[in-house]
Homo-oligomer: A and B are copies of this chain.
Amino acid sequence: MIVVVTPNPAVDVTYRVDEQRIGTTQRVRSVDRLPGGKGLNVARVLASEGVATHSVLPLGGPSGTWVADAVAALGLTATAVPVPGETRTTVTVVDDHAHPTMFGEPGPTVPPVAWLPVDEAVRALLPTAEALVVSGSLPVGSAAEVVTPWIADAVAAGVLVVADCSGPALLAAADAGATVCKPNREELAEATGCADERDGALALLDRGAGIVVVSRGADGIAAHTRTEVVEVAAVPDVTGNPTGAGDAATAGLVLALTRDTADPDLATALRTAAAFGAAAVLRPVAGEIDREAAHRFLTDPEPTRSTA
């Protein structure tokens, strides 16, 4: 079973309108509501591959109740940890004319004491966990060190940890010894202050990360260790909706790393991540992949290895 922590879940609402126009009353033609947050996308992709997952979700207010119910309706196992305030909503407005407009609520302020039951929930799941995934932003105002106990406890229990965090939380995840830190290129540069990818990766490795996997969008994906850089090209000629592609890549990475724990093959893990990411682009909503495509893509790209 793979434990997935989504520190800042959301109600992701999509409004379709005829044509976005500022300053008018817009009739919403269709409303889609999905439980959101990067970790939940990871869990959904893993579940669609038949992998048992257990999500840990700090949730507050009626929006939080909605997320808990919707997650259950999707067939995902989850522990909802009540927190004060109201789980955030994002509203994305789409039409056939312009780029989508996304409105992101700031979300609840979760005080330090409210994180303790989340720590306990994670700890309780570790004895039966194959991996821990920590994915997505922290609530506004929460210290980066919120992630520390989850990762440190998992590492102490010998559980593989993949941390897809950004900003100070990415540094805290490395400090706590995450097996894999998985930022995208921009997040890596922003968190470490290093313009060069290799320099940024080394900064996280120095802090304690085991491997640094950097997603480069259309430029593929790379894994940095102290001694080598393994690179896989992106699957070519895939167009669609890139939202959630990074989360699908995380799911692919975790899946590959947990399937062959005795000898985790980085190249295979990266190829799986690239294939899952591309297969997510083919689906209109985050948290889903085109499974047939994912497995077809896996046969394609060949990784490049270079000694660093």
Contact = CB atoms under 8 A, between A and B. Distances in A.
A99 B20 contact: no
A6 to B, nearest CB: 19
A143 interface: no
Interface stretch (A61-69, A164-172, A207-215, A220-228): A61-69
Interface residues of A, number: 29
Dominant secondary structure of chain A at its interface with chain B: mixed
Contact of A101 (B26, B31, B65, B69): B26
Contacts of A21: 22, 101
A52 B154 CA distance: 58
Interface string A84-125: 000000010100001111111110000000000000000000
A100 B23 contact: yes
Given A22-B20, A98-B22, A103 B62 contact: no
A31 B66 contact: no
Nearest to A97: B22
Contacts of A26: 101-104
Interface string A241-271: 0000000000000000000000000000000
Interface in A152-171: none
B104 A27 contact: yes
Contact of A23 (B15, B28, B99, B104): B99
Contacts of A102: 24-26
Contacts of A1: none
A118 B136 CA distance: 44
A17 interface: yes
Contact of A22 (B15, B99, B106): B99
